[in-house]
Structure 1
Amino acid sequence: MNKTFHYFYFWMLKFLMVCSILLFLAGIVLSISRYLFLRDAIRSQAKIVRHFTASDGLYTPIYTFEDSKGKEYEITSSHGYNTPIGKEGDVIKILYDPSNPEISEEDNFRNLWAVPIFMALGGLSNFLVYGGLFYFSKKRLKRKAVINA
């Protein structure tokens, strides 16, 4: 193989390793953000008033709840579901920020932790794969150079 291919190959592996590190760090930052939200969040119950169905077929619940001061809020969830999480009138568990009750999340693992965990694990596993390819390819290329010398 020619030197241009090797140069491009190793440059691409370095680029993918950097992207993997950034993905891992983004997952860590999101995890810390979630932790800080959960540390101060108040658990409450909300009532589903309707669902918004997006063009991609995901059901986004719209729910109402009262904060600790008795003020009512209507929130459109930031998460969509393949199937509705409940019908109109059903009660769901939520968490909200007491200093800004308009920031609320459904209290389930998927909403709180799925994205940060998958980002961190995806970044780490990709880094290990691309790093391994980089290391063993470099090692093989050096061995070939010694044999051909």
Structure 2
Amino acid sequence: MKIISKIKYIFLAIGLPMLIGAVLSYYGTSSFLEDALSAEGTITDFEERYSDGSTTYRPVVQFVDNNGQTIEFISSIGGSRSAYSLGEKVGVVYSPLNSQIASLDSFFSLWGGTLITTILGGSFSSVGVFIFLIGKLRNRKNGYLQRDGVAVNARFQGVRLNHTLSVNGRNPYVIDCHWTNPETYRVHVFESDNIWFDPSSYINIEEIRVFMDKKNTRKYYVDTSFLPQLAK
């Protein structure tokens, strides 16, 4: 299905750069901390930021570097004002080469960006990889059943929409067919893989080939190779 395939690549295209960014952020912070100097800073003010109807406050911090120079910076991490108070003493780490490159000495100030991009990148990439693996496993299963399964001719019952799956507001179609086991007189109900166009006008046969697992009839593949391929 072309839509699912596109979604797979979209998720990977978003997730993988995020993971790369997370790795670069991790090594950048690690490199910074290797040489960083520590100091005690003081919260002197708060910078207000407005976003999506909410207000966050970024602490304005002053500290004295190893050269006796007073440095002021705005924390890259903001939150509710109650998280800090004016005059509060906080730990600071800064670059010995450029004291203006400084950060609060807290986990989230140092690693928050890395953590967030790792979670988001991992989530997006996982969805893309999951869709990719599902497709590969389905193709492998169908190939196995066609090669080593038992072939039966099932009677065509009809075409319907699969309302359990929706992509961009669209539902795929599935073909239903039945086969009665002549030895047990039990009726087996089969459902094709999802089809992303209405195949009704292309079905002019009464029976459709189905391949079943020899040991487990719940594992099957409805052969829809007689249908035209959806254009790219």
| TM-score, normalised via structure 1 length | 0.84
How many residues align structurally? 144
Distance 1:8-1:36 versus aligned 2 partners, 3 A rule = same
Task: Give the number of the structure whose residues are more often strand, by fraction.
Answer: 2
Counterpart of 2:64 in structure 1 is 66
Q: After superposition, what is the alpha-carbon deviation per residue over 1:74-101, rounded to whole angstroms, capped at 9, x for unaligned?
A: 2222221123443222211010111100
- CA drift of 1:138 comes to 4.5
How far apart are the structure 1 equivalents of 2:21 and 2:126?
17
How far apart are the structure 2 equivalents of 1:67 and 1:133?
52
SS at 2:39 equivalent = strand
How far apart are the structure 1 equivalents of 2:61 and 2:105?
13
Q: After superposition, what is the alpha-carbon deviation per residue over 1:89-115, rounded to whole angstroms, capped at 9, x for unaligned?
A: 221101011110011100001111122
Gaps of at least 5 residues in structure 1 are 1-5
Counterpart of 2:23 in structure 1 is 28
| Match of residue 40, structure 2, among 26, 42, 45 | 45
Amino acid at match of 1:32: Y
- CA drift of 1:141 comes to 5.7
Counterpart of 2:6 in structure 1 is 11
Q: Contact between 1:48 and 1:63, CA under 8 Å: does it hold in 2? A: yes
Task: Give the number of the structure whose residues are more often helix, by fraction.
Answer: 1
Alignment RMSD: 2.1
Q: Contact between 2:75 and 2:109, CA under 8 Å: does it hold in 1? A: no
**1:114-133 paired onto structure 2 within 5 Å:** 114-133=112-131
Amino acid at match of 1:119: T
How far apart are the structure 1 equivalents of 2:126 and 2:83?
37
Q: Which has the larger radius of gyration?
A: 2
Does residue 147 (structure 1) correspond to residue 216 (structure 2)? The answer is no
How far apart are the structure 2 equivalents of 1:41 and 1:131?
38
Q: Contact between 2:7 and 2:128, CA under 8 Å: does it hold in 1? A: no
Q: Percent identity?
A: 20
| TM-score, normalised via structure 2 length | 0.56
Q: Contact between 1:61 and 1:85, CA under 8 Å: does it hold in 2? A: no
Gaps of at least 5 residues in structure 2 are 143-192, 194-209, 211-220, 226-232
Tell me: higher relative CO, structure 1 or 2? Use CA pairs within 8 A at least 6 residues apart. 1
How far apart are the structure 2 equivalents of 1:12 and 1:72?
52
